[in-house]
């Protein structure tokens, strides 16, 4: 290796896509003490920390009830089970999302109906939803509900989507796995629709040290059903099984970790806002930067660009990588085109936007501990690669 080549290797920064260690360093002593305490107490299943966390999360969102659970995916399934969704029922989901949104519909034997998304927000298109409801009715399906997704952290257009759902007698469950801490208009994430589902997977805005999730609702009856579904469909007590349920509890240790993380979460959301604003400012003249709908606050789970048509995404990602800037593609294939999901119906007006976004989106490093200097290097790199 020549000296010049050696020098170049040394100069490439090591930028993580998401830096969970930076957060860990900030509160490691408190989290470690909370974990050890939970271990010493020995109440591993549904210990006092679980209830305490649920109270804090309900307060944080303003929702009446919080039911913690084993993962975001399980939380989505729990609502479908509580609502008795099954074969012959149609549930509308966006074609451009993480697979779990549609997967749970298939679990209960219902039909996942794919709806297109909007180009600017990446979220469910109200006009496409309206068309899909008509299509499903004409096909003899029984439409029961809608699962809008708050993709990359921005709430979907709930006022528009909920109005359409209400007019058609459908419930709305928000898949807010990526948007916990976000807001739209006068409501926080957790307050939209009949129920809101979120995830505490480590890389989500509020993550634990394993799998975890939570549901939010103002509906007393649904909250009670969800408590039952969470523990094997229990009735009056554990060995009284009045319905089909699952084992979907959040571990006490994870609740203890989340209690500590929730304390710094508001400051992390502010930091994410600042990172997004810096990216927007540095990149808006060269590429399509993410846009928020009016009144929306994003939790910025991802910072996602739409590349111009003449830019080859693989080349762009490779050039960024060479310069030490990691990127990621969420999601490269619309669900409607995934092998396991091709049998499910697609709205008659098509999912052209989902298909186009799957080809052109790319996400940049985003986390609350991204330093301004590092970010400026990322911005400079992206600009150079685009201009090359
Ligand atoms: C992460 C995610 C889920 C699933 O959450 P898990 O906790 O990983 O099961 C569901 N929907 C969306 C949109 C997600 O991003």
Chain segment 75-133, per-residue pLDDT in tens: 999 999 999 999 999 999 999 999 999 999 999 999 999 999 999 999 999 999 999 99
Task: Read off the pLDDT band of 237 (50, 70, 90).
Answer: confident
Tokens of 323: 């310069």
CB atoms within 10 A of CB 58: 18
What topology is assigned to 265-387 in CATH? Answer: 3.90.1150
Instruction: For strands 296-297 and 89-94, give the pairing.
Output: unpaired
The structure tokens listed for 219 are 């509906």
Computed over every residue of the chain, the mean pLDDT equals 96
Structure confidence at residue 10 (pLDDT): 56
- Contact predicate 128/96, CB 8 Å: no
pLDDT above 50 (res 191): yes
What distance in angstroms lies between residue 138's CA and the mean position of ligand 1's atoms? Answer: 31
What's the CA gap between 317 and 386, in Å, rounded?
11
Tell me, in angstroms, the distance from the centre of ligand 1 to residue 207's CA.
Answer: 11
pLDDT, tens digit (0-9, with 9 covering 90-100), for 123-165: 999 999 999 999 999 999 999 999 999 999 999 999 999 999 9
Domain ranges of the chain: 23-260, 265-387
**C-beta of 97 in contact with ligand 1 (< 6 A):** yes
**Is 70 exceeded by the pLDDT of residue 5?**
no
Residue 159: CB atoms within 10 A of its CB come to 14
Q: Kindly tell me if the per-residue pLDDT of 2 is higher than 60.
A: no
* Section 250-254 average pLDDT: 98
Q: What are the E-state strand segments in the chain?
A: 65-69, 89-94, 111-115, 142-146, 171-175, 183-184, 187-188, 195-199, 213-217, 296-297, 303-306, 361-364
Model confidence band, residue 41 (pLDDT cutoffs 50, 70, 90): very high
pLDDT at 274 over 50: yes
Binned at pLDDT 50, 70 and 90, residue 388 comes out as confident
The answer, yes or no, to whether any atom of ligand 1 lies below 6 A from the CB of 71, is yes
Is the shortest distance between the CB of 213 and ligand 1 below 6 Å?
Answer: yes
Q: Is residue 9 over pLDDT 60? A: no
Rounded to the nearest whole angstrom, what is the distance from the C-alpha of residue 98 to the centroid of ligand 1?
Answer: 7
Residue 205 Cβ inside 6 Å of ligand 1? The answer reads no
98 CB within 6 A, ligand 1: yes
How far, in Å, CA of 243 to CA of 82, rounded? 9
57 phi, psi to nearest 5 deg: -70, -40
Residues facing residue 251 across a β-bridge: 45
Average pLDDT over residues 25-31: 96
Ligand 1 mean position, distance from CA 203 (Å) = 10
| Closest C-alpha residue for ligand 1 atom 10 | 100
* Pocket flag, ligand 1, residue 201 (CB < 6 Å): yes
Closest CA to 75 of 174, 227, 197: 197
If one residue of 106, 153, 177, 248 were mutated to test the ligand 1 pocket, choosing by the most ligand atoms within 8 A of its CB, it would be: 177
Could you tell me the distance, in angstroms and rounded to a whole number, from the CA of residue 78 to the centre of ligand 1? 14
What does the pLDDT read at residue 156? 98
Right CATH number for 23-260 from 3.90.550.10, 1.10.10.10, 3.40.640.10, 3.40.50.300? 3.40.640.10
Kind of pairing between the strands at 303-306 and 111-115: unpaired
> Residue 333 pLDDT more than 90?
yes
> For residue 197, what pLDDT is reported?
98
């Amino acid at each position: 290796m020549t000296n010049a080549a050696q020098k170049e290797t040394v100069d490439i920064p090591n930028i993580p896509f998401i830096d969970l260690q930076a957060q860990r360093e900030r509160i490691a002593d408190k989290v470690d003490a909370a974990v050890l305490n939970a271990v010493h107490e020995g109440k591993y299943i549904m210990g006092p920390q679980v209830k305490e966390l649920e109270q804090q999360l309900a307060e944080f969102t303003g929702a009446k009830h919080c039911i913690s659970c084993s993962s975001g995916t399980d939380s989505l399934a729990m609502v479908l089970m509580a609502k008795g969704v099954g074969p012959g029922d149609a549930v509308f989901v966006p074609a451009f999302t993480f697979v779990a949104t549609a997967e749970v519909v298939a679990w209960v034997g219902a039909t996942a109906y794919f709806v297109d998304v909007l180009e600017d927000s990446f979220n469910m298109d109200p006009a496409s939803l309206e068309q899909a409801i008509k299509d499903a009715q004409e096909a003899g399906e029984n439409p029961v509900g809608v699962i809008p997704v708050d993709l990359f952290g921005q709430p979907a257009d709930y006022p528009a989507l909920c109005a359409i759902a209400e007019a058609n007698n459908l419930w709305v469950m928000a898949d807010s796995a990526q948007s916990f801490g976000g807001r739209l208009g006068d409501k926080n994430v957790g307050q939209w629709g009949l129920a809101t589902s979120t995830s505490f997977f480590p890389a989500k805005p509020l993550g634990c040290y394993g799998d975890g999730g939570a549901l939010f609702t103002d509906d007393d009856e649904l909250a009670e059903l969800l408590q039952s579904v969470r523990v094997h469909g229990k009735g009056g007590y554990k060995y009284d099984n009045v319905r089909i349920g699952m084992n979907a509890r959040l571990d006490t240790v994870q609740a203890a970790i989340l209690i500590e993380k929730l304390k710094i979460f508001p400051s992390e959301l502010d930091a994410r806002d600042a990172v997004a604003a810096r990216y927007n400012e540095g990149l808006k003249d060269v590429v399509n930067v993410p846009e928020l709908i009016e009144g929306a606050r994003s939790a910025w789970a991802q910072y996602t660009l739409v590349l111009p048509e003449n830019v080859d995404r693989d080349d762009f990602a490779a050039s960024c990588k060479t310069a030490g800037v990691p990127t990621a593609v969420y999601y490269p294939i619309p669900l409607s085109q995934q092998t396991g999901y091709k049998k499910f119906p697609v709205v008659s007006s098509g999912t052209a936007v989902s298909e186009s976004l799957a080809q052109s989106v790319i996400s940049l490093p985003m986390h609350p501990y991204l330093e301004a200097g590092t970010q400026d290097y990322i911005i400079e790199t992206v600009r150079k690669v685009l201009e090359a």
